[in-house]
Amino acid sequence: MAARAGVSLGTASRVLSGHPATSPGARSRVTEAAAALGYRPNAQARSLRSTRTHTIGLLVSDVRNPFFADVAHAAEQAALDADYVTLLGNANEDVDQQDRYLETFLTQRVDGVVITPQGRGSGSLDTLIDSGMPIVFADRTVEGLDVPSVTTDSRPGLDEAIAHLAARGHTRIAFIGGPQSISTGRDRHDAFLEAMPAHGLEVAGELIAFGDFREASGTEAAERLLAVPDRPTALLAADNLMAVGALAAVRSHGLTIGADIDLIAFDDTEWFPFLDPPMSVIAHDPGAIGRHAVALLLRVIGGDTPESVVLPTKFVDRTRVAGSPHG
Amino acid sequence: MAARAGVSLGTASRVLSGHPATSPGARSRVTEAAAALGYRPNAQARSLRSTRTHTIGLLVSDVRNPFFADVAHAAEQAALDADYVTLLGNANEDVDQQDRYLETFLTQRVDGVVITPQGRGSGSLDTLIDSGMPIVFADRTVEGLDVPSVTTDSRPGLDEAIAHLAARGHTRIAFIGGPQSISTGRDRHDAFLEAMPAHGLEVAGELIAFGDFREASGTEAAERLLAVPDRPTALLAADNLMAVGALAAVRSHGLTIGADIDLIAFDDTEWFPFLDPPMSVIAHDPGAIGRHAVALLLRVIGGDTPESVVLPTKFVDRTRVAGSPHG
């Protein structure tokens, strides 16, 4: 019948069970096909489908990234408080691995999914949404998919960070961005492009490099930036792992952070204050992201269509010495 | 019939399917009960039970501990290579939470479980083993449970660390241990008690404190140790998170590591080399633990009874200055 109606099994099932997340077109096609085929709902199958497993699937981008470990931990605790066990998957910043996990969450009949998406994947996210699975995006979103989300606004924290660097006299500020296929990669890049002129600074094309939100890519990006003839005096990395990678590159060039060059990371970690020197950061709250995401998911599971949540960022200045690194 | 035989459903099922992991007593009780009840195996139910989900459950102690995040990542990649998807659970260093996850893994019909146990729990591990679920211990073991395991031998690395501290002239060496209910907590404590006299050093009872393998407990333990009248000149913490916690306490006392006091951590992390000063560590290989654990589990799933694996530890000296911290 789904085939006759030209819709997925999930859509057909949602229409017939009166689920709200169906388009008018799908509804009329499924209803017609059902009538033509003399469809009668199967009570047993319906009860099977509506059986709750009291599990939720949580797919994070990278379980070794302390930011996502904090999101996962907070989400899991919030879920347990509501009597749900969280099955955690690691997409490992890889779209194919994301596909594998989303399939598994479907066959394991989790009651809902929180995901920090890698992008749309090979239709796996569409399949999941189409199946009627309750779903919430955390930290990242996917353009064109209408899913409740919990994200952070990069702008306030990034603007304060650029103001801080401008006040320290920097003009050659480099940006190590994340993948532009990922919403947070785009947002942080856009926020950088906005903040620079707002503080009278010019964006130099050769001072922008992109990584993949992982450590090695931060090292490679910093190497490219430090090789620019009029080298940057400050680096701003779009996540904590690329900042650690950049730190390794800066050290290997014999440069001293705070004296020869400034380095600011997006994301805070519990050990950044103990670095040599302490890392200044654009901080947001991974715990709040995890808790809000589960709260939204429970509302979606309950049949609501909750509003998305946007959380703030702020700059945390850990500069030890007052001196300017390039004077 | 399981009730009549006085055994669990899992045991009854294993006896009737000829599974090797059953006791002679259980076998005879189940066989008698089956005969008395005129039991005939149900082929359909049997096929349902033997259906593989191609998932494994991986229960780590603390997903925010970078050591376990590395174990999880390596295990997940090894599992994917063998076409298994890993569902990750976080026990959060909590026995009750461990119970919840093990129940969930059973009802979600994973094909096998890798676990870094918190201890025996409220019988949940016994239930899991009794059900015939293939299971492997990673990093930690549980006394009295005969399960293949991948662990590390604390002794070589810890002995080198004490030798290093002895060579730097330390005599007041304090130990921040993990929970003695956990095998790695006991092993590292035992290895410390062995290594000290081996290098002509006395173990002072007031210089041993215990935490729970998490950061806050490391801070509290270090505070207690620093309050001892003839305070220690070196601290050795039994995991990376307690070492970070101890570092915070040392800093808050205005003490300089490498000058006023030495600090050594068990476990390495990618950012320990960037600390101020770099952290010397007793290193082992979380990736190897994860890979070996999955390799063992696949053999157990295949019907083998593999030998346990013990991996080495080694001391990594990152001391920057040659000076003695207490001379």
CA distances from A136 to A67, B221, B255 (A): 18, 40, 46
Put simply, whether B318 touches A (Cβ < 8 Å) is no
For residue A99, what is the nearest residue in chain B, using CA coordinates? Answer: B85
B304-311: long-range pairs with CB below 8 Å, 24+: B305/B20, B305/B148, B306/B148, B307/B148, B308/B148, B308/B149, B308/B150, B308/B151, B309/B149, B309/B150, B309/B151, B310/B150, B310/B151, B310/B152, B310/B153, B311/B150, B311/B151, B311/B152, B311/B153, B311/B284, B311/B285
Q: Which residues of A touch B85 (CB under 8 A)?
A: 89, 100-101, 104
Q: Does B80 touch chain A (CB under 8 A)?
A: yes
Q: Return residues 115-144 of A near B (CB < 8 Å).
A: none
Res B105 pLDDT > 60:
yes
B92/A108 Cβ within 8 A: no
Higher-confidence residue: A26 or B287? B287
**Contact yes or no for A88 and B90 at CB 8 A:** yes
Res. B196: pLDDT tops 90: yes
**Which residue of A110, A113, A271, A318 to mutate against B (max B Cβ within 10 Å)?**
A271
Q: How far apart are CA A264 and CA A239, in angstroms?
A: 9
Which of B247, B270, B276 lies closest to A244 in CB terms? B270
Note the pLDDT tens digit of each residue in A227-283: 999 999 999 999 999 999 999 999 999 999 999 999 999 999 989 999 988 999 999
- B2-47 and B53-151+286-313, same CATH topology: no
Average pLDDT on A202-208 reads 97
Domain A154-284 has CATH 3.40.50.2300: yes
Query: Quick check: A71 pLDDT over 90?
Result: yes
Lowest-confidence range among A28-32, B128-132, B192-196, B235-239? A28-32
* Placement of tokens 């199967």 in the chain: A42
pLDDT, residue A276, reads 83
pLDDT tier for residue B45 given thresholds of 50, 70 and 90: very low
Find out whether A93 and A119 touch, Cβ atoms under 8 Å.
no
Asked if B70 has any chain A CB less than 8 Å from its own CB, the reply is yes
Q: Determine the average pLDDT of the residues in A160-181.
A: 97
Q: How far is A37 from chain B (nearest CA, A)?
A: 31
Q: How far apart are CA B38 and CA B31, in angstroms?
A: 10
pLDDT band of A87, cuts 50, 70, 90: very high
| B88 contacts chain A (CB < 8 A) | yes
* CATH assignment of B53-151+286-313, among 3.90.79.10, 3.30.1640.10, 3.20.20.70, 3.40.50.2300: 3.40.50.2300
Which residues on chain B are in Cβ contact (under 8 Å) with A53?
107-108
**Residue A184: closest CA among A114, A267, A124:** A267
CA of B251: which chain A residue's CA is closest?
A274
Each residue of A224-243: pLDDT tens digit? 999 999 999 999 999 999 99
B77 vs A: CB within 8 A:
yes
Across the range A47-65, mean pLDDT stands at 85
Cβ–Cβ below 8 Å for B92 and A77: yes
Nearest-angstrom CA–CA distance, B171 and B176: 16
Nearest CA in chain A to B240: A271
Per the prediction, chain B carries an average pLDDT of: 88
Q: What is the pLDDT of residue B326?
A: 42
Mean pLDDT of A99-114: 95
Place of tokens 């989790």: A110
Which residue among B70, B85, B97 places its CB closest to the CB of A64? B70
For B:222-241, CB contacts with A below 8 A are none
Q: Enumerate residues 20 to 59 of chain B having a beta carbon within 8 A of any beta carbon in chain A.
A: 53, 55
| Residue A321, pLDDT above cutoff 90 | no
Contact A85 B73 (CB under 8 A): no
What's residue A122's pLDDT? 81
Find which of B104, B110, B111, B321 to mutate to test the A interface (most A CBs within 10 Å of its CB).
Answer: B104
Which of A65-69, B7-11, B76-80, B133-137 has the lowest average pLDDT? B7-11
Q: B287 to chain A: nearest residue by CA?
A: A64
The domain locations on chain B are 2-47, 53-151+286-313, 154-285
User: Which CATH architecture is the domain A2-47 placed in?
Assistant: Orthogonal Bundle (1.10)
Taking CB atoms and an 8 Å cutoff, what residues of chain A touch B274?
244, 247-248, 251, 275-276
- Is B244 close to A274, i.e. CB distance below 8 A? yes
CATH topology of domain B154-285: Rossmann fold (3.40.50)
Contact A203, A197 (CB under 8 A): yes
Q: Kindly state whether A271 is in contact with chain B, defined as any CB-CB distance less than 8 angstroms.
A: yes
Q: Name chain A contacts of B92, Cβ cutoff 8 Å.
A: 73, 76-77
Tokens 């241990």 correspond to: B177
- Tell me if B275 and A276 make a contact (CB, 8 A cut-off): yes
CATH class (in words) of the domain with range A53-151+286-311: alpha beta
- In chain A, residues with a C-beta closer than 8 Å to the C-beta of B108 are 53, 55, 87, 108
Over 50: is that where the pLDDT of B29 sits?
yes
pLDDT at A88 over 80: yes
Once rounded to an integer, what is the mean pLDDT over residues A94-120?
94
CB contact under 8 A, B276 and A271: no
pLDDT at A223 over 70: yes
Please list the alpha-helical segments (H only) found in chain A: 2-5, 9-16, 24-36, 43-50, 66-81, 95-107, 124-130, 154-167, 183-198, 215-226, 240-252, 286-301
- Which of A70, A248, A277 is closest, CB to CB, to B64? A70
Nearest by CB to A76, which of B55, B86, B90? B90
Residue range A12-24, pLDDT digits in tens:
555 555 455 556 5
pLDDT band of B51, cuts 50, 70, 90: confident
Query: What is the DSSP track for B120-183?
Result: STTTHHHHHHHTT--EEEES---TT----EEEE-HHHHHHHHHHHHHHTT---EEEEE--TTSH
Asked if the model's pLDDT at residue B307 lies above 70, the reply is yes
What is the ipTM metric for this complex?
0.82
Rounded CA-CA distance A216/A246 in Å is: 9
pLDDT score recorded for residue B123: 85
SS3 per-residue string spanning B14-67 = HHHCCCCCCCHHHHHHHHHHHHHCCCCCCHHHHHHHHCCCCEEEEEECCCCCHH
Q: Rounded mean pLDDT of B162-172?
A: 98
Mutating which of B48, B58, B63, B244 best tests the A interface, going by the most A Cβ atoms within 10 A? B63
pLDDT band, residue A9 (cuts 50/70/90): low
pLDDT of the residue at A323: 45
Tell me the nearest-neighbour CA distance from A69 into chain B, angstroms.
5
Higher-confidence residue of A18 and A222: namely A222
